[in-house]
């Protein structure tokens, strides 16, 4: 198969998501993958000039050696708000160009604006279109005034897709309420790379030693992009203000709130208690998770962006036999419920006190049992077969 992927984020800079895992595995199976993406961090990247020029990245891989994904990045105007309008225009041209040059058998979209372009153009050329939902993207638009327009765009895309695939049950329900047809909507859960995220093979003791975490200290762990609503700042503040000398917090990643965490660390003199590693190679993530005792996702429960999603990191934490403490997020509760190694708190600050009271080994075992069947190879099989059937239905 030739698969054209429409991505509204940075394929190269951002941490691996469902899209990377699936497409790299399909590449290893001999399918041709071409991605149209967007330099979402253009403001902080500070590249010179007012125009981001069209760029092609050949043979990209983030997870698997031997995988080959070509990434095409259309040009756009680097001026707030105008960047969207210019990018819509260049994406339209780019999708048309790729259909003529690459001749895809199917289009798979993970984005919002270019997904809507893609579904319209797919009708023109009679190419099957798959909309893959990992979150409610219009809630991520920084300009609040544009979120209403974003919702209308997403509704239109859902109504006109040939197949809608959601990463969890809550998103599938959202899709059907918003416009997709039940018969054309399915759930494909997130997966786990059993070769890498294997608690029997991965040793985290070297990480604990490197960062000065003693055997009798409880290590809380967060990884990923650090949004202001991630709740990590509140957990750090709680540690800094309290008397929890035997509990440490390790944060792996960067993001909007990273500098705030540095300030909190300095304010409370937490040099040895709040460990900020910055962004780490994906290949080292299993080792970092293995070093921890309890993984956390303390995001603001009233943050609309977090309502329906289940981050892929949940499955990776659980596969490494780690209990997870999270705030009461709708998607997470619907996906895991109770007694699965997941514990819920009302607000981020509650994470610290709860972590000090739990049976880490028992809860970690429950988490592992719940996700042990979520293997990426099986999930890729399902996705691959879904695409093949959709293509065959057009022939």
Percentage of residues in the chain having pLDDT higher than 70 = 96
Say if residue 28 is exposed, middle or buried (CB neighbours under 10 Å; 0-12, 13-18, 19+): middle
Q: Does the pLDDT of residue 131 top 60, yes or no?
A: yes
pLDDT digits (tens, 9 = 90+) for 247-289: 999 999 998 999 999 999 999 999 889 999 999 998 899 999 9
Joined together, the tokens standing for residue 339 give 């007694």
Half-sphere exposure (Cβ direction) of 29: Cα atoms closer than 13 Å: 16
pLDDT digits (tens, 9 = 90+) for 348-366: 999 999 999 999 999 999 9
pLDDT given at position 15:
77
Confidence band, pLDDT 50/70/90 cuts, at residue 37: very high
Confidence band, pLDDT 50/70/90 cuts, at residue 6: very high
Which DSSP category does 247 fall into?
E
Half-sphere exposure (Cβ direction) of 115: Cα atoms closer than 13 Å: 29
pLDDT given at position 148:
61
pLDDT given at position 242:
78
Q: Are residues 182 and 214 in the same domain?
A: no
Q: Are residues 214 and 336 in the same domain?
A: yes
Euclidean distance between the first and the last CA atom of the chain, given in angstroms as a whole number: 14
pLDDT given at position 138:
45
Q: Does the pLDDT of residue 141 top 60, yes or no?
A: no
Q: Are residues 362 and 384 in the same domain?
A: no
pTM of the model: 0.80
Task: Round the average pLDDT of the chain to a whole number and report it.
Answer: 90
CA nearest to 355, candidates 273, 239, 268: 239
Q: Are residues 253 and 181 in the same domain?
A: no
Confidence band, pLDDT 50/70/90 cuts, at residue 59: very high
pLDDT given at position 137:
52
Q: Does the pLDDT of residue 219 top 80, yes or no?
A: yes
Q: Is residue 197 part of a domain?
A: no
Mean pLDDT, residues 93-122 taken together = 94
pLDDT given at position 152:
77
| 149 Cβ contact list (under 8 Å, min separation 6) | none
Percentage of residues in the chain having pLDDT higher than 90 = 64
Q: Is residue 87 part of a domain?
A: yes
Q: Does the pLDDT of residue 145 top 60, yes or no?
A: no
pLDDT given at position 324:
97
Q: Are residues 131 and 214 in the same domain?
A: no
Domain count, the chain: 2
Q: Are residues 187 and 97 in the same domain?
A: yes
Joined together, the tokens standing for residue 215 give 């055997």
Q: Does the pLDDT of residue 142 top 60, yes or no?
A: no
Mean pLDDT, residues 122-147 taken together = 75
Q: Is residue 167 part of a domain?
A: yes
Q: Is residue 200 part of a domain?
A: no
Domain holding 181, by residue range, is: 2-191+375-392
pLDDT digits (tens, 9 = 90+) for 66-95: 999 999 999 999 888 888 889 899 999 999
Q: Are residues 115 and 138 in the same domain?
A: yes
* d(C-alpha 241, C-alpha 39), whole Å: 39
> Contact, 21 vs 15, CB < 8 A?
no
Joined together, the tokens standing for residue 3 give 């698969």
Q: Which one has a higher pLDDT value, 67 or 145?
A: 67
Q: Residue 382: phi, psi to the nearest 5? A: -65, -45
Q: Is residue 199 part of a domain?
A: no
Mean pLDDT, residues 54-61 taken together = 95
Q: Is residue 196 part of a domain?
A: no
Joined together, the tokens standing for residue 387 give 């695409």
* d(C-alpha 4, C-alpha 106), whole Å: 6
* d(C-alpha 331, C-alpha 336), whole Å: 9
pLDDT given at position 3:
98
CATH number at residue 103: 3.40.50.2000
Beta bridge partners of 70: 34
* d(C-alpha 176, C-alpha 157), whole Å: 12
Q: Which one has a higher pLDDT value, 313 or 44?
A: 313
Q: Are residues 9 and 120 in the same domain?
A: yes
Q: Are residues 12 and 148 in the same domain?
A: yes
CA nearest to 175, candidates 128, 127, 129, 134: 134
pLDDT given at position 146:
57
Q: Are residues 366 and 380 in the same domain?
A: no
Q: Are residues 380 and 365 in the same domain?
A: no
* d(C-alpha 321, C-alpha 360), whole Å: 9
pLDDT digits (tens, 9 = 90+) for 373-385: 888 989 999 999 9
Extract the runs of DSSP E, i.e. beta strands, from the chain: 2-6, 32-36, 51-52, 55-60, 69-73, 76-77, 106-109, 129-133, 163-166, 185-187, 218-223, 247-252, 274-278, 294-297, 324-327, 342-345
Q: Are residues 184 and 227 in the same domain?
A: no
User: What b/e sequence results for 74-106 when a residue is b if at least 16 CB atoms lie within 10 Å of its CB, and e otherwise?
Assistant: bbbbbeeeebbebbeebbbebbeebbeeeebbb
């Amino acid at each position: 198969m030739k698969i054209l992927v429409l991505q509204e984020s940075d394929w190269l800079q951002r941490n691996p998501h469902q899209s990377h895992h699936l497409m790299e595995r399909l590449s290893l199976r001999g399918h041709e993958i071409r991605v149209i993406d967007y330099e979402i961090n253009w403001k902080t990247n500070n590249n010179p000039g007012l125009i981001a020029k069209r760029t092609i990245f050949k043979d990209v891989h983030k997870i698997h050696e031997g995988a080959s994904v070509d990434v095409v990045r259309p040009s756009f105007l680097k001026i707030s708000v105008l960047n969207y309008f210019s990018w819509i225009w260049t994406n339209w041209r780019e999708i048309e160009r790729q259909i003529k040059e690459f001749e895809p058998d199917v289009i798979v979209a993970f984005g919002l604006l270019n997904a809507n372009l893609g579904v319209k153009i797919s009708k023109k050329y009679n190419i099957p279109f798959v909309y893959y939902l990992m979150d409610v993207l219009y809630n991520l638009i920084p300009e609040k005034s544009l979120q209403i327009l974003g919702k209308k765009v997403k509704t239109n895309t859902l109504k006109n897709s040939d197949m809608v695939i959601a990463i969890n049950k809550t998103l599938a329900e959202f899709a059907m309420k918003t416009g997709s047809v039940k018969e054309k909507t399915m759930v494909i859960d997130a997966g786990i790379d059993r070769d890498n995220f294997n608690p029997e093979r991965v040793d985290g003791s070297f990480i604990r030693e490197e960062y000065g975490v003693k055997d009798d200290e409880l290590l809380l762990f967060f990884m990923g992009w650090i949004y202001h609503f991630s709740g990590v700042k509140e957990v750090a503040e709680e540690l800094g203000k309290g008397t929890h000398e035997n509990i440490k917090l390790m944060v792996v990643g960067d993001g909007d709130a990273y500098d705030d965490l540095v300030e909190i660390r300095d304010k409370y003199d937490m040099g040895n208690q709040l460990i900020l590693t910055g962004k780490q190679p994906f290949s080292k993530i299993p080792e970092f998770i293995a070093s921890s005792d309890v993984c956390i996702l303390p995001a603001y429960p009233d943050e609309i962006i977090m309502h329906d999603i289940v981050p892929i990191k949940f499955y990776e934490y659980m596969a490494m036999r780690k209990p997870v403490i999270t705030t009461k997020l709708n998607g997470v509760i619907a996906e895991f419920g109770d007694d699965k190694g997941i514990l819920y708190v009302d607000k981020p600050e509650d994470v610290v006190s709860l972590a000090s009271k739990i049976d880490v080994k028992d809860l970690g075992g429950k988490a592992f049992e719940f996700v042990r069947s979520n293997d990426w190879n099986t999930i890729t099989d399902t996705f691959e077969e879904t695409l093949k059937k959709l293509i065959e239905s057009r022939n």
